[in-house]
Amino acid sequence: MPEAIQSRSDQSSAITACELLSRLDPTHDWGSEAEVSLYLDRCQVDTPEDVVKRVWRELSTRRAQLPNVVDFGAGDGRFARYGSFGSYIGIEIDGWRCMKASLPRNARLIHSCVFNFVVDDANACVGNPPYVRNQDLPIGWRQSASQKLLDRCGVALSGLANAWQYFFLLSLISVKADGIVALVIPYEWVSRPSAKAIRDYIKKQGWAVTVYRLLDESFDRVLTTSSITIVDKADRLGAWSYFQQQADGSFIGCASVTTGSGSLVKYYKRGREENLTVRAKRGLSPGTQKLLTLSDAERARLGLQVKKDVVPCVTTLKHLPTEETHLDKATFEKFYVKAGKKCWLLQTDGKPSTRLQVYLDSVPLSERNTATCNSRDDWWRFTMPEIPDVLVATGFRGSHTKTVVNSFSVRAVGSVAGIYGLKRAERLKFAQRLGRKRVGDRVVSHSHGLRKLEINQLNSIIQSDAKRRVTNG
């Protein structure tokens, strides 16, 4: 049964350690031990103190008093060490972090899953929800959390939603009608289709939103651009404002969600990609590139044979010179094989050879502990992807992405997307047109200056290109 947390203005006793709910393991029905372990391992990224202080600074400019504050995914309770509030309650799944926490007298931590509680009277919700990819979420956790959120607010999150989106929505429905939410979450929430349900929910309520995009250096281990996002329920004008942090720590206002001068590249509607004669598909996610793609030196050391045990692949176009228009055999040999890049994809959709099986059997569980690998009967078996006509780097710097005609039948893996459905005579001109498009200021920066084109943004560009060519005859 869910338990209710209610604000208590008369709280006087100091509680500086975790209130352990030892009668029930909060993870017992989430999934397998491997799934749960993977999720918990991905959860813990400590928030830098300067970011915590900045969150409280933004809150203090909007609220003179905060009688009670809640923090979902509280970690060691560091948000309780700053700011001014009557009481603070943090919920944390990691009991060890709870036990080690040092808290002020008016704060406490509870060891449990945040979705085991119903909170609806908080004045504010603060914190840094865990960044765990949807692929790494335990099935039991995701199903339970989704249903509880749907029951409470009628919002159904995308099946592609990452963990922080569940926490974000929970925060929104846990504060009062005039409450405020201040979270450290990925900046991508302002544009990604997977977060559309949350954006639509906020817009429907008419709440004001302010998003401060942080410098990429704010978090050492996080490979996505972070933000401090403020949702103020008391401000019903419905304005959305965007700010970009500068090197000196200050923020400047931005006219667009992209924080650049261009409008966001539209997303082609998910589920309608089959209507496109020419379409983009994401690169293969084999489960673990580290183990299932090899450099030529690794292949040779294992004694694996080309075409029998491995097939050519590319996981990046980053180092490929822009003047290269075709990835042919010579180009592949020079810039991938001899350059020591990951360039061989294991051939695992059939019966592995003795040599390949020896390698697969030698990999310890700890090195292949991913949600994708754990979900398979054979951790290494995947369906071999089709061969694309054109290869596109979905991650890029500057104004243009990188494109190349696939003349050597390589497979696209990871951040390299494939374009399919092109006639041979069309491929070079298509790649050149796509490579000339200035999209750098029309996409949301991913991290460390890296721009990222999502697959359905590519499909939108492809559709627009096809329409323009028909119009122009």
- Count of CB atoms situated within 10 Å of the CB of 122: 25
Listed in sequence order, the residues at least 6 apart from 273 whose beta carbon sits closer than 8 Å to its beta carbon are: 279, 456, 459
Cross-strand partners of 72 = 91
pLDDT on residue 271: 72
- Count of CB atoms situated within 10 Å of the CB of 51: 18
- The string of DSSP letters for 129-145 reads -----GGGS-HHHHHHH
pLDDT means per 10 residues, the chain with 473 residues, are 36 39 51 58 73 95 95 92 94 78 90 88 95 81 92 93 94 97 94 92 97 74 77 95 90 81 79 83 94 97 96 96 96 97 95 96 92 90 96 90 97 96 95 90 72 89 80 60
pLDDT on residue 15: 37
pLDDT on residue 32: 63
> Can you tell me whether residue 67 is helix, strand or coil?
coil
8 Å CB contact between 123 and 176? yes
- Count of CB atoms situated within 10 Å of the CB of 398: 11
Fold of 3-254: Rossmann fold (3.40.50)
What is the reported pTM? 0.75
Domain ranges, ordered by start, for the chain:
3-254, 273-471
pLDDT on residue 27: 59
